[in-house]
Amino acid sequence: MWAAVADVGRDAGGGYLRDAWSAADLELREWFRQEAGRRGLDLREDRNGNLWAWWGDPDTRPGVVTGSHLDSVRQGGAFDGPLGVVSAFAAVDLLREQGVRLGVPLGVACFTDEEGARFGVPCMGSRLLTGVVEPDRARGLTDDDGDTMADVLRRAGRDPAALGPDAETRRHIGAFVELHVEQGRALIDMDAPIGVAASIWPHGRWRLDFTGRADHAGTTRLADRDDPMIPFAQAVLAARTAAERRGVVATVAKVRVSPGSANAIPGHVTAWLDARGEDEHAVRDLVAEVGAGAQVGCESWSPRVEFDPSLAARLAAALGGAPLIGTGAGHDAGILAAAGVPTAMVFVRNPTGISHSPEEHAEPADCHAGVAALADALKELADE
Ligand code: GLV
Ligand code: MN
Ligand code: MN
Ligand code: MN
* Annotated domain spans of the chain: 2-201+304-382, 203-302
pLDDT at 220: 98
Nearest atom in ligand 1 to 328's CA: 4
Distance 69 CA to ligand 4 centre (A): 7
- Say if residue 13 is exposed, middle or buried (CB neighbours under 10 Å; 0-12, 13-18, 19+): exposed
Q: How far does residue 122's CA lie from ligand 1's centre (Å)?
A: 7
Residue nearest atom 1 in ligand 1 by C-alpha distance: 330
- Which mutation among 355, 356, 360 tests ligand 1's pocket best, with the greatest number of atoms within 8 A of CB? 356
Topology of the domain covering 203-302? Alpha-Beta Plaits (3.30.70)
pTM of the model: 0.97
203 is in an annotated binding site: no
Minimum-distance ligand to the CA of 72?
3
Using the atom order of ligand 1, give the atom closest to the CA of residue 203.
Answer: 4
Report the separation in Å between the CA atom of 329 and the middle of ligand 1, taken as the mean of its atom positions: 5
Q: How far apart are CA 336 and CA 10, in angstroms?
A: 30
Closest among 198, 197, 199, 194 to 373, alpha carbons compared: 194
Which ligand approaches the C-alpha of residue 84 most closely? 4
Annotation-wise, does 69 bind a ligand? Answer: yes
Question: Residues 275, 276, 279, CA angle at the centre, nearest 5°?
Answer: 125
- On the question of a common fold for 2-201+304-382 and 203-302, the answer reads no
Spatial separation of the C-alpha atoms in residues 23 and 61, rounded to whole Å: 35
Q: 3-state DSSP call for residue 343? A: strand
Rounded Cα gap, residues 173 and 167, in angstroms? 10
Determine whether the annotation assigns residue 205 to a binding site.
yes
Pairing of strands 194-200, 106-111: unpaired
* Ligand 2 centroid from CA 42, angstroms: 12
Q: 219 C-alpha vs ligand 1 centroid, how far in Å?
A: 44
Distance 228 CA to ligand 3 centre (A): 31
With 0-12 CB in 10 A as exposed, 13-18 as middle and 19+ as buried, what is 322?
A: buried
Pocket test for ligand 1, best of 68, 183, 254 (most atoms within 8 A of CB): 183
* Closest ligand 1 atom number to CA of residue 115: 1
Distance 48 CA to ligand 4 centre (A): 18
**CATH number for the domain formed by residue range(s) 2-201+304-382:** 3.40.630.10
Residue from 75, 113, 115, 181 to probe ligand 1 pocket by mutation (most atoms less than 8 Å from CB): 115
Please give the pLDDT value at position 383.
80
Ligand 1 atom with least separation from CA of 330: 4
226 among the known binding-site residues?
A: no
The residues, any chain, with a CB within 8 Å of residue 25's CB and separated by 6 or more, are: 9, 18, 19, 70, 71
How is 6-54 classified by DSSP, letter by letter? HTTTB-TTS-B---TTSHHHHHHHHHHHHHHHHTT-EEEE-TTS-EEEE
Counting ligands in written order, the one closest to the CA of 169 is 2
| Atom number, ligand 1, closest to the C-alpha of residue 274 | 5
Ligand 1 site, CB within 6 A: 115, 122, 329-330
Which ligand minimizes its atom distance to the CA of 110?
4
Query: How does pLDDT run along the chain (384 residues), one tens digit per residue?
Result: 999 999 999 999 999 999 999 999 999 999 999 999 999 999 999 999 999 999 999 999 999 999 999 999 999 999 999 999 999 999 999 999 999 999 999 999 999 999 999 999 999 999 999 999 999 999 999 999 999 999 999 999 999 999 999 999 999 999 999 999 999 999 999 999 999 999 999 999 999 999 999 999 999 999 999 999 999 999 999 999 999 999 999 999 999 999 999 999 999 999 999 999 999 999 999 999 999 999 999 999 999 999 999 999 999 999 999 999 999 999 999 999 999 999 999 999 999 999 999 999 999 999 999 999 999 999 999 986
Does the annotation place 356 within a ligand binding site? Answer: yes
Span from the CA of 191 to the centroid of ligand 4 (angstroms): 22
CA distance 29 to 25: 6
* ipTM of predicted assembly, 2 dp: 0.94
Say how far apart CA 262 and CA 217 lie, in whole Å: 8
First to last CA, the chain: 30
pLDDT at 356: 98
Whole-angstrom Cα Rg for the chain: 22
